[in-house]
A = this chain, B = another copy of it.
Amino acid sequence: MPTTVTDQTVIQRLPAALEKKKFLKKSFKGLDYCHAIDDWQHIPRGTTVFNDQVIFGYPHIGRVLALEAGLRAHFQAPFWVEEKINGFNVRIVRIENQIVALTRGGFVCPFTTDRLPDLMPLAIFQHQPEIVVCAEVAGPDNPYLESHPPFVETDVQLFIFDLMRVGKPAFVPYQDKLSLLEKYALPSVPRFGRFEINSAEKIRKLIIELHHQWHEGIVFKEDSERDHRAKYVTGNSNIDDIRAAADNMMELPPEYFTNRLLRLALFLEENGLTASPVMKQELGAAFLEGLHRAVEHYRQEHRVYTTFRCRFRNKENAELMLNHLKQASRHIKIVQRGLKMEGKHWLLEFDRIYPHLTGMLGDLLSGRMIFD
Protein backbone atom coordinates (compact mmCIF):
# COMPACT_ATOMS: atom_id res chain seq x y z
CA MET A 1 0.00 0.00 0.00
CA PRO A 2 1.39 3.48 -0.78
CA THR A 3 2.92 5.24 2.23
CA THR A 4 1.15 8.17 3.92
CA VAL A 5 4.37 10.19 4.12
CA THR A 6 4.27 13.44 2.06
CA ASP A 7 6.93 14.75 -0.29
CA GLN A 8 7.63 17.60 2.17
CA THR A 9 8.43 15.04 4.89
CA VAL A 10 10.83 13.26 2.52
CA ILE A 11 12.59 16.56 1.75
CA GLN A 12 12.84 17.38 5.48
CA ARG A 13 14.22 13.95 6.36
CA LEU A 14 16.65 13.83 3.46
CA PRO A 15 19.72 15.29 5.26
CA ALA A 16 19.32 12.79 8.12
CA ALA A 17 18.69 9.97 5.64
CA LEU A 18 21.87 10.84 3.73
CA GLU A 19 23.77 10.99 7.01
CA LYS A 20 22.52 7.51 7.94
CA LYS A 21 23.21 6.21 4.42
CA LYS A 22 19.53 5.38 3.92
CA PHE A 23 19.66 7.60 0.81
CA LEU A 24 22.64 7.78 -1.53
CA LYS A 25 23.67 10.63 -3.84
CA LYS A 26 23.95 9.79 -7.53
CA SER A 27 24.29 11.59 -10.82
CA PHE A 28 23.20 10.74 -14.36
CA LYS A 29 24.69 12.88 -17.12
CA GLY A 30 24.79 15.99 -14.91
CA LEU A 31 21.40 15.31 -13.32
CA ASP A 32 21.95 15.01 -9.55
CA TYR A 33 19.62 12.97 -7.37
CA CYS A 34 19.33 10.94 -4.19
CA HIS A 35 17.61 7.57 -3.84
CA ALA A 36 16.42 5.48 -0.88
CA ILE A 37 18.25 2.17 -0.77
CA ASP A 38 16.03 0.78 2.04
CA ASP A 39 12.58 1.32 3.45
CA TRP A 40 13.16 3.90 6.20
CA GLN A 41 10.74 5.84 8.42
CA HIS A 42 7.84 5.02 6.06
CA ILE A 43 9.76 6.29 3.04
CA PRO A 44 9.74 3.36 0.60
CA ARG A 45 12.93 2.01 -0.93
CA GLY A 46 13.41 3.38 -4.43
CA THR A 47 12.09 6.85 -3.58
CA THR A 48 14.13 9.31 -5.64
CA VAL A 49 14.62 13.03 -5.04
CA PHE A 50 15.68 15.48 -7.76
CA ASN A 51 16.09 18.91 -6.05
CA ASP A 52 12.58 19.39 -4.66
CA GLN A 53 10.85 16.76 -6.78
CA VAL A 54 10.08 13.51 -4.98
CA ILE A 55 9.26 10.35 -6.94
CA PHE A 56 7.94 7.86 -4.39
CA GLY A 57 9.14 4.26 -4.57
CA TYR A 58 6.80 1.71 -6.08
CA PRO A 59 5.15 -0.04 -3.10
CA HIS A 60 5.58 -3.76 -2.33
CA ILE A 61 2.68 -5.90 -3.51
CA GLY A 62 2.00 -8.96 -1.38
CA ARG A 63 1.81 -12.40 -2.91
CA VAL A 64 -0.88 -14.97 -2.16
CA LEU A 65 -0.12 -18.65 -2.75
CA ALA A 66 -3.71 -19.81 -2.34
CA LEU A 67 -6.08 -18.08 -4.77
CA GLU A 68 -9.48 -18.54 -3.20
CA ALA A 69 -8.41 -18.20 0.44
CA GLY A 70 -6.22 -15.25 -0.49
CA LEU A 71 -9.04 -13.35 -2.15
CA ARG A 72 -11.35 -14.08 0.80
CA ALA A 73 -8.74 -13.01 3.33
CA HIS A 74 -7.64 -9.75 1.72
CA PHE A 75 -10.37 -8.23 -0.44
CA GLN A 76 -13.48 -6.38 0.70
CA ALA A 77 -14.74 -5.03 -2.64
CA PRO A 78 -14.59 -6.01 -6.33
CA PHE A 79 -11.18 -5.71 -7.92
CA TRP A 80 -9.53 -5.19 -11.27
CA VAL A 81 -7.38 -7.98 -12.62
CA GLU A 82 -4.32 -7.22 -14.73
CA GLU A 83 -1.57 -9.40 -16.10
CA LYS A 84 1.73 -9.51 -14.23
CA ILE A 85 4.61 -9.29 -16.70
CA ASN A 86 7.95 -10.99 -16.12
CA GLY A 87 10.35 -8.08 -16.50
CA PHE A 88 11.82 -5.28 -14.42
CA ASN A 89 9.90 -2.44 -12.79
CA VAL A 90 10.53 1.16 -13.83
CA ARG A 91 9.02 4.54 -13.02
CA ILE A 92 9.35 7.03 -15.86
CA VAL A 93 9.28 10.74 -15.12
CA ARG A 94 10.18 14.08 -16.66
CA ILE A 95 12.80 16.05 -14.75
CA GLU A 96 13.17 19.49 -16.25
CA ASN A 97 13.57 18.70 -19.94
CA GLN A 98 14.85 15.18 -19.59
CA ILE A 99 12.71 12.05 -19.35
CA VAL A 100 14.31 9.35 -17.20
CA ALA A 101 13.41 5.83 -16.13
CA LEU A 102 14.08 4.84 -12.51
CA THR A 103 14.63 1.25 -11.45
CA ARG A 104 12.76 -0.29 -8.50
CA GLY A 105 15.70 0.81 -6.36
CA GLY A 106 15.41 4.41 -7.58
CA PHE A 107 18.52 4.45 -9.75
CA VAL A 108 18.30 6.12 -13.18
CA CYS A 109 18.41 3.14 -15.59
CA PRO A 110 20.67 4.12 -18.52
CA PHE A 111 19.20 1.33 -20.65
CA THR A 112 15.50 2.12 -20.25
CA THR A 113 16.13 5.87 -20.29
CA ASP A 114 18.02 5.48 -23.56
CA ARG A 115 15.34 3.34 -25.18
CA LEU A 116 12.25 5.29 -24.07
CA PRO A 117 11.51 6.74 -27.54
CA ASP A 118 11.41 3.14 -28.87
CA LEU A 119 9.20 1.90 -26.07
CA MET A 120 6.30 4.35 -25.73
CA PRO A 121 4.85 7.60 -27.06
CA LEU A 122 6.26 10.43 -24.93
CA ALA A 123 3.64 13.14 -25.47
CA ILE A 124 2.11 12.55 -22.03
CA PHE A 125 5.26 14.03 -20.43
CA GLN A 126 4.73 17.28 -22.38
CA HIS A 127 1.06 17.63 -21.48
CA GLN A 128 1.22 16.18 -17.94
CA PRO A 129 4.71 17.06 -16.69
CA GLU A 130 3.89 15.73 -13.20
CA ILE A 131 3.02 12.23 -14.41
CA VAL A 132 4.96 9.16 -13.24
CA VAL A 133 4.52 6.15 -15.52
CA CYS A 134 4.93 2.81 -13.74
CA ALA A 135 5.75 -0.01 -16.12
CA GLU A 136 7.44 -3.35 -16.62
CA VAL A 137 10.19 -3.62 -19.24
CA ALA A 138 10.43 -7.18 -20.50
CA GLY A 139 12.11 -9.15 -23.24
CA PRO A 140 15.10 -11.34 -23.99
CA ASP A 141 17.53 -8.46 -24.60
CA ASN A 142 17.61 -6.68 -21.27
CA PRO A 143 20.55 -6.02 -18.94
CA TYR A 144 19.09 -7.48 -15.72
CA LEU A 145 17.08 -10.68 -16.14
CA GLU A 146 17.62 -14.07 -17.75
CA SER A 147 13.91 -14.77 -18.18
CA HIS A 148 11.29 -13.02 -20.26
CA PRO A 149 7.68 -13.49 -21.37
CA PRO A 150 7.16 -15.80 -24.37
CA PHE A 151 5.26 -13.07 -26.25
CA VAL A 152 8.28 -10.73 -26.39
CA GLU A 153 10.54 -12.59 -28.77
CA THR A 154 13.28 -10.04 -29.40
CA ASP A 155 14.61 -6.87 -27.76
CA VAL A 156 12.29 -5.49 -25.04
CA GLN A 157 8.80 -4.05 -24.76
CA LEU A 158 7.21 -1.81 -22.16
CA PHE A 159 3.93 -2.54 -20.37
CA ILE A 160 2.32 0.13 -18.21
CA PHE A 161 0.37 -0.91 -15.11
CA ASP A 162 0.08 2.25 -13.00
CA LEU A 163 0.36 6.00 -13.07
CA MET A 164 1.49 8.17 -10.19
CA ARG A 165 2.26 11.87 -9.86
CA VAL A 166 5.47 13.57 -8.80
CA GLY A 167 5.37 14.26 -5.06
CA LYS A 168 2.46 11.86 -4.40
CA PRO A 169 2.76 8.29 -3.16
CA ALA A 170 -0.75 7.24 -4.29
CA PHE A 171 -1.70 5.82 -7.68
CA VAL A 172 -3.86 7.69 -10.17
CA PRO A 173 -7.43 6.26 -9.81
CA TYR A 174 -8.12 3.29 -12.11
CA GLN A 175 -10.62 5.02 -14.45
CA ASP A 176 -8.35 8.06 -14.81
CA LYS A 177 -5.47 5.73 -15.62
CA LEU A 178 -7.54 4.07 -18.36
CA SER A 179 -8.46 7.44 -19.87
CA LEU A 180 -4.86 8.61 -19.91
CA LEU A 181 -3.56 5.34 -21.38
CA GLU A 182 -6.14 5.64 -24.13
CA LYS A 183 -5.66 9.36 -24.74
CA TYR A 184 -1.89 9.01 -25.16
CA ALA A 185 -2.01 5.59 -26.89
CA LEU A 186 0.19 4.12 -24.20
CA PRO A 187 1.13 0.41 -24.10
CA SER A 188 -0.66 -1.25 -21.20
CA VAL A 189 -0.32 -4.59 -19.47
CA PRO A 190 -3.20 -6.85 -20.59
CA ARG A 191 -6.27 -6.06 -18.47
CA PHE A 192 -8.86 -8.72 -17.73
CA GLY A 193 -11.63 -6.55 -16.25
CA ARG A 194 -13.39 -6.13 -12.92
CA PHE A 195 -14.30 -9.17 -10.81
CA GLU A 196 -16.44 -9.81 -7.75
CA ILE A 197 -14.74 -11.32 -4.69
CA ASN A 198 -16.71 -14.54 -5.10
CA SER A 199 -15.62 -15.04 -8.70
CA ALA A 200 -12.62 -17.20 -7.86
CA GLU A 201 -13.79 -19.81 -10.39
CA LYS A 202 -13.65 -17.33 -13.28
CA ILE A 203 -10.22 -16.20 -12.16
CA ARG A 204 -9.09 -19.79 -11.84
CA LYS A 205 -10.03 -20.38 -15.49
CA LEU A 206 -8.03 -17.32 -16.46
CA ILE A 207 -4.92 -18.24 -14.45
CA ILE A 208 -4.91 -21.81 -15.77
CA GLU A 209 -4.95 -20.42 -19.31
CA LEU A 210 -2.04 -18.08 -18.49
CA HIS A 211 -0.22 -21.01 -16.88
CA HIS A 212 -0.51 -23.11 -20.04
CA GLN A 213 0.78 -20.16 -22.09
CA TRP A 214 3.79 -19.77 -19.73
CA HIS A 215 2.72 -16.25 -18.71
CA GLU A 216 3.75 -15.02 -15.27
CA GLY A 217 0.54 -14.30 -13.39
CA ILE A 218 -1.96 -11.67 -12.35
CA VAL A 219 -2.31 -8.68 -10.05
CA PHE A 220 -5.52 -7.84 -8.18
CA LYS A 221 -6.33 -4.16 -7.57
CA GLU A 222 -9.30 -3.47 -5.33
CA ASP A 223 -11.79 -0.97 -6.79
CA SER A 224 -11.94 1.07 -3.57
CA GLU A 225 -10.41 4.05 -1.84
CA ARG A 226 -7.71 1.91 -0.24
CA ASP A 227 -6.70 0.42 -3.65
CA HIS A 228 -5.60 -2.83 -1.97
CA ARG A 229 -3.45 -5.16 -4.06
CA ALA A 230 -2.14 -8.71 -4.25
CA LYS A 231 -0.36 -10.85 -6.83
CA TYR A 232 -0.75 -14.50 -7.78
CA VAL A 233 1.53 -16.32 -10.20
CA THR A 234 1.11 -19.31 -12.49
CA GLY A 235 2.72 -22.68 -11.77
CA ASN A 236 4.85 -22.48 -14.88
CA SER A 237 6.29 -19.09 -13.91
CA ASN A 238 8.09 -20.93 -11.11
CA ILE A 239 9.67 -23.29 -13.61
CA ASP A 240 10.73 -20.24 -15.64
CA ASP A 241 12.34 -18.73 -12.54
CA ILE A 242 14.19 -21.96 -11.77
CA ARG A 243 15.42 -22.25 -15.35
CA ALA A 244 16.70 -18.67 -15.27
CA ALA A 245 18.56 -19.25 -12.01
CA ALA A 246 20.00 -22.74 -12.42
CA ASP A 247 23.45 -21.68 -13.64
CA ASN A 248 23.48 -18.99 -11.00
CA MET A 249 22.40 -21.38 -8.25
CA MET A 250 25.19 -20.78 -5.79
CA GLU A 251 24.82 -16.98 -5.78
CA LEU A 252 21.18 -17.07 -4.69
CA PRO A 253 19.65 -17.48 -1.27
CA PRO A 254 18.95 -21.22 -1.13
CA GLU A 255 15.26 -20.64 -0.36
CA TYR A 256 14.96 -19.31 -3.90
CA PHE A 257 14.40 -22.83 -5.17
CA THR A 258 12.43 -24.33 -2.29
CA ASN A 259 10.02 -21.36 -2.31
CA ARG A 260 9.33 -21.75 -6.01
CA LEU A 261 8.88 -25.51 -5.76
CA LEU A 262 6.36 -25.01 -2.98
CA ARG A 263 4.50 -22.33 -4.99
CA LEU A 264 4.35 -24.70 -7.95
CA ALA A 265 3.01 -27.57 -5.83
CA LEU A 266 0.38 -25.30 -4.25
CA PHE A 267 -0.67 -23.95 -7.65
CA LEU A 268 -1.18 -27.42 -9.06
CA GLU A 269 -3.02 -28.71 -6.01
CA GLU A 270 -5.40 -25.76 -5.69
CA ASN A 271 -6.19 -25.57 -9.35
CA GLY A 272 -6.93 -29.26 -9.68
CA LEU A 273 -4.00 -29.87 -12.01
CA THR A 274 -1.82 -32.90 -11.63
CA ALA A 275 1.83 -32.61 -12.54
CA SER A 276 1.86 -33.97 -16.08
CA PRO A 277 4.83 -35.95 -17.40
CA VAL A 278 5.60 -32.95 -19.62
CA MET A 279 5.65 -30.57 -16.66
CA LYS A 280 7.88 -32.87 -14.61
CA GLN A 281 10.22 -33.02 -17.56
CA GLU A 282 10.20 -29.22 -17.88
CA LEU A 283 11.02 -28.89 -14.19
CA GLY A 284 13.86 -31.41 -14.36
CA ALA A 285 15.19 -29.69 -17.48
CA ALA A 286 14.98 -26.29 -15.77
CA PHE A 287 17.45 -27.49 -13.15
CA LEU A 288 19.70 -29.63 -15.32
CA GLU A 289 20.14 -27.63 -18.51
CA GLY A 290 21.54 -24.53 -16.80
CA LEU A 291 23.89 -26.64 -14.68
CA HIS A 292 25.00 -28.61 -17.70
CA ARG A 293 25.78 -25.35 -19.50
CA ALA A 294 27.68 -24.16 -16.42
CA VAL A 295 29.89 -27.28 -16.39
CA GLU A 296 30.51 -26.99 -20.14
CA HIS A 297 31.45 -23.31 -19.77
CA TYR A 298 33.82 -24.18 -16.96
CA ARG A 299 35.50 -26.95 -18.99
CA GLN A 300 35.97 -24.63 -21.98
CA GLU A 301 36.75 -21.28 -20.37
CA HIS A 302 37.31 -21.95 -16.65
CA ARG A 303 34.45 -19.72 -15.67
CA VAL A 304 30.68 -19.97 -15.30
CA TYR A 305 28.78 -17.10 -16.84
CA THR A 306 25.70 -15.94 -18.67
CA THR A 307 25.92 -13.63 -21.65
CA PHE A 308 23.50 -10.69 -21.72
CA ARG A 309 22.77 -8.48 -24.70
CA CYS A 310 20.86 -5.22 -24.98
CA ARG A 311 20.51 -2.39 -27.48
CA PHE A 312 21.10 1.34 -27.05
CA ARG A 313 20.43 4.40 -29.23
CA ASN A 314 23.39 6.19 -27.70
CA LYS A 315 26.80 4.63 -27.12
CA GLU A 316 27.48 6.62 -23.95
CA ASN A 317 24.39 5.11 -22.31
CA ALA A 318 25.72 1.60 -23.00
CA GLU A 319 28.92 2.53 -21.22
CA LEU A 320 27.02 4.07 -18.31
CA MET A 321 24.92 0.90 -18.05
CA LEU A 322 27.97 -1.33 -17.95
CA ASN A 323 29.65 0.88 -15.34
CA HIS A 324 26.54 0.84 -13.23
CA LEU A 325 26.36 -2.96 -13.35
CA LYS A 326 30.04 -3.24 -12.45
CA GLN A 327 29.57 -1.01 -9.43
CA ALA A 328 26.29 -2.60 -8.34
CA SER A 329 27.44 -6.23 -8.57
CA ARG A 330 29.22 -7.05 -5.38
CA HIS A 331 30.02 -10.70 -6.02
CA ILE A 332 29.24 -11.21 -9.66
CA LYS A 333 31.86 -9.98 -12.11
CA ILE A 334 30.71 -8.05 -15.19
CA VAL A 335 32.89 -8.30 -18.30
CA GLN A 336 32.15 -6.61 -21.62
CA ARG A 337 32.11 -8.90 -24.67
CA GLY A 338 31.36 -6.34 -27.35
CA LEU A 339 29.77 -3.01 -28.17
CA LYS A 340 29.06 -2.48 -31.85
CA MET A 341 26.51 -0.96 -34.20
CA GLU A 342 23.78 -3.33 -35.36
CA GLY A 343 21.15 -1.71 -37.51
CA LYS A 344 20.14 1.54 -35.84
CA HIS A 345 21.34 0.52 -32.39
CA TRP A 346 24.49 -0.06 -30.41
CA LEU A 347 24.47 -3.70 -29.36
CA LEU A 348 26.11 -4.24 -25.96
CA GLU A 349 27.09 -7.78 -24.99
CA PHE A 350 28.49 -8.62 -21.60
CA ASP A 351 28.95 -11.60 -19.30
CA ARG A 352 27.95 -12.00 -15.72
CA ILE A 353 30.53 -14.33 -14.19
CA TYR A 354 29.31 -16.33 -11.20
CA PRO A 355 32.23 -16.70 -8.81
CA HIS A 356 30.80 -19.26 -6.36
CA LEU A 357 29.87 -21.84 -8.95
CA THR A 358 33.10 -21.09 -10.86
CA GLY A 359 35.11 -21.74 -7.69
CA MET A 360 33.17 -24.85 -6.75
CA LEU A 361 33.49 -26.39 -10.21
CA GLY A 362 37.19 -25.58 -10.24
CA ASP A 363 37.60 -27.50 -6.98
CA LEU A 364 35.32 -30.38 -7.80
CA LEU A 365 36.53 -30.99 -11.36
CA SER A 366 40.11 -31.09 -10.13
CA GLY A 367 39.08 -34.07 -7.99
CA ARG A 368 38.82 -32.37 -4.61
CA MET A 369 37.50 -34.64 -1.89
CA ILE A 370 34.66 -33.31 0.21
CA PHE A 371 33.52 -34.48 3.63
CA ASP A 372 29.79 -34.10 4.16
Contacts and interface: CB of A to CB of B under 8 A. Distances in A.
Interface of A: 60, 62-66, 68-74, 230, 246, 249-250, 253-255, 257-259, 261-262, 264-266, 268-269, 274-275, 277, 279-285, 287-289, 291-292, 294-296, 299, 360, 364-372
B367 A74 contact: yes
Contact of A283 (B254, B287, B296, B369): B287
Contacts of A66: 364-367
Shortest 8 CB-CB contacts between residues of A and residues of B: A254-B254, A280-B284, A69-B367, A62-B369, A283-B284, A73-B367, A265-B291, A70-B367
A295 B369 CA distance: 38
Contacts of A73: 366-369
Given A66-B364, A73-B367, A288 B280 contact: yes
A371 B277 CA distance: 32
A89 to B, nearest CB: 14
Nearest to A289: B275
Contacts of A289: 275
Contact of A287 (B250, B259, B261): B261
26 contacts: A63-B369, A63-B370, A70-B367, A70-B369, A249-B261, A249-B262, A254-B255, A259-B372, A261-B288, A261-B291, A262-B360, A262-B364, A265-B291, A265-B292, A265-B294, A269-B296, A269-B299, A275-B285, A275-B289, A275-B292, A280-B280, A280-B284, A280-B285, A281-B281, A283-B287, A284-B285
How many copies of the polypeptide does the oligomer hold? Answer: 2
A288 to B, nearest CB: 4
B370 A265 contact: no
A367 B64 contact: yes
A283 B65 CA distance: 23
Contact of A262 (B60, B284, B291): B291
Contacts of A265: 288, 291-292, 294-295
